[in-house]
Chain A
């Protein structure tokens, strides 16, 4: 058996998963979600902004919330300083006199405690969260609120993009976020969401209280809450046109830290308290397809990377051995031909190309569905060239952390 054959099951699964997403996007529930008209009802809403050392961004975050197209008497903004050691408190002080804004300071206890503090002081029907490094578009809240027209829905997520991507890494993440918009939109239509991200997810306050509020959730309180909502049989919706922009890590080291936290949090939650959801028929798409595929994608990411490294090393060693002693001008300079005969097409390579092309298509779909402005060209190029190389870095790190029981700080 050739080593390439090890990749076949994962490539088949990837094609199946992407096909499922595309088919689900074309199904009636997703079509209806796209056609959903912004509801005119305006329930009372509280947006909690948990802050820990966010002095540089919290003002802009709060300004974007104040600028939301929503009746001022129905929108409350709760800034919670979770024991910051920088100038966050001073930055928040600017809003103290605004009747829409409530500023709270507390001892550091983690993001989930800041959210619970905010929930405890409000009587709003809907409560939302917005990370202090994120900014919302004017119409985002009305889009989100429309999701709650359905009484079965207890939570709703937005469409995230990267805020002003500058370097190649941020453009890559922007494309990835666009992919995420597509996935969330498709999975929401079959109630398959397992995370309600920090940037602008909303909940019915009553349900949150009934469920016991936010928990530590292995540093992924947004995922833990979504899994708890799903386990209890509630629905999580998505508003694909509720556009929100978040600051993305600008260096590979920051990105690895962030993603290690996400992936290890996912693994600890899903293999721990929420293991019963995996393969659960009563949880439909989430139990039978989304969670098993998410787990498989972590395994396949690591395996395909290891396989790629092995094949590259094997071919490189073999090529160097064969070329030893041959003049450089012949051995290492291209002297091939563009003849079709030598087209390096194999089953393995073609399947991988199809997986990549489908990913690119889903990224473009995400941009179109959410009507996110801006050019995605650089994002697509960087995603195509970089993503497969960097993802295994945090997959391996997070998996080994979970396997070895190693826990890292939020910002270590």
Chain B
């Protein structure tokens, strides 16, 4: 074998080894991301259950306790943004992403219900936004709506935003959609029980919020 042919073969082997290592590293990183998400999701499940238990134990005077879902909501938002990033990296059809999205949706519904129960018991009026989107290619303005809500959540920490993939095949979510009577017209918002469809601008969206609801002060919940 000539020197050139031998060197070319070695170079080919190196190229394959480098490409394989890069592919392995990317796969490893993505697996680590999924593991991280699973760990966060598990912790959130425990926190959520703990809050529910606290609430049940102190049913007579829940407002005097330290029971609060504010921390849980913040953690949930962080989980949501990580999940969105992982979905972007791994693809929305990735089975692990879908599983985590289902768990995330369940946690959101649970947090929403606790928030409502606490608000009722403590006579507070938290501003909640249920946001339904679709990434099936039939929602041109969902990215804009999602970004606008991220801005609102960042600017008004008291705001509670719950995002749901309308097309996610999850029994609890389907029931939630039926109960809240959201039409299949994305993006869809339920802002303190008031339905709103479509997204034109941040300004228009802000008009849908109750007067004085958007303030920078944090709620008790």
Contacts and interface: CB of A to CB of B under 8 A. Distances in A.
Interface string A1-39: 000000000001001110110111001110000000000
A350 interface: yes
A179 B31 CA distance: 38
Contact of B144 (A20, A23, A29, A322): A322
Nearest to A11: B19
Interface residues of B, number: 32
Given A15-B18, A23-B14, A322-B143, A284 B148 contact: no
B22 A347 contact: yes
Interface stretch (A81-89, A323-331, A367-375, A377-385): A323-331
B85 A342 contact: yes
B71 interface: no
Interface residues of A, number: 37
Contact of A350 (B22, B33, B82, B148): B22
Contacts of B10: 19, 23
Contacts, number: 84
A20 B8 contact: yes
Interface string B2-34: 111001101110110011001101100100010
B4 A288 contact: yes
A346 interface: yes
B42 interface: no
B201 interface: yes
A322 B33 CA distance: 26
A345 B18 CA distance: 15
A342 B31 CA distance: 13
A338 B144 CA distance: 24
B14 A351 contact: no
B46 interface: no
A19 B12 CA distance: 8
A326 B205 CA distance: 12
Contacts of A318: 143
A346 B7 contact: no
A302 interface: no
B147 interface: yes
A330 B85 contact: no
Contacts of A29: 3
B138 interface: no
B154 A330 contact: yes
A321 interface: yes
B155 interface: yes
Given A19-B15, A350-B22, A324 B144 contact: yes
Nearest to A318: B143
B22 A351 contact: yes
A283 to B, nearest CB: 10
A350 B29 CA distance: 12
Contact of B25 (A190, A330, A341, A350): A350
B4 A284 contact: yes
Contacts of B82: 341
B19 A15 contact: yes
Contacts of A324: 144, 201
Contacts of B155: 330
B75 to A, nearest CB: 14
A330 B148 CA distance: 10
A326 B146 CA distance: 12
A322 B199 CA distance: 11
Interface string A276-293: 000000001100110000
Interface string A73-102: 000000000000000000000000000000
Contacts of A404: none
Contacts of A325: 148, 201-203
Nearest to A15: B15
Contacts of B14: 15-16, 19, 22-23
Given A322-B143, A324-B144, A27 B7 contact: yes
A341 B36 contact: yes
A284 B5 CA distance: 9
10 contacts: A12-B19, A15-B15, A20-B7, A24-B7, A330-B154, A341-B82, A342-B85, A346-B26, A346-B89, A354-B22
Closest 8 A/B residue pairs (Cβ): A19-B11, A20-B11, A19-B14, A16-B15, A285-B4, A23-B7, A325-B202, A350-B22
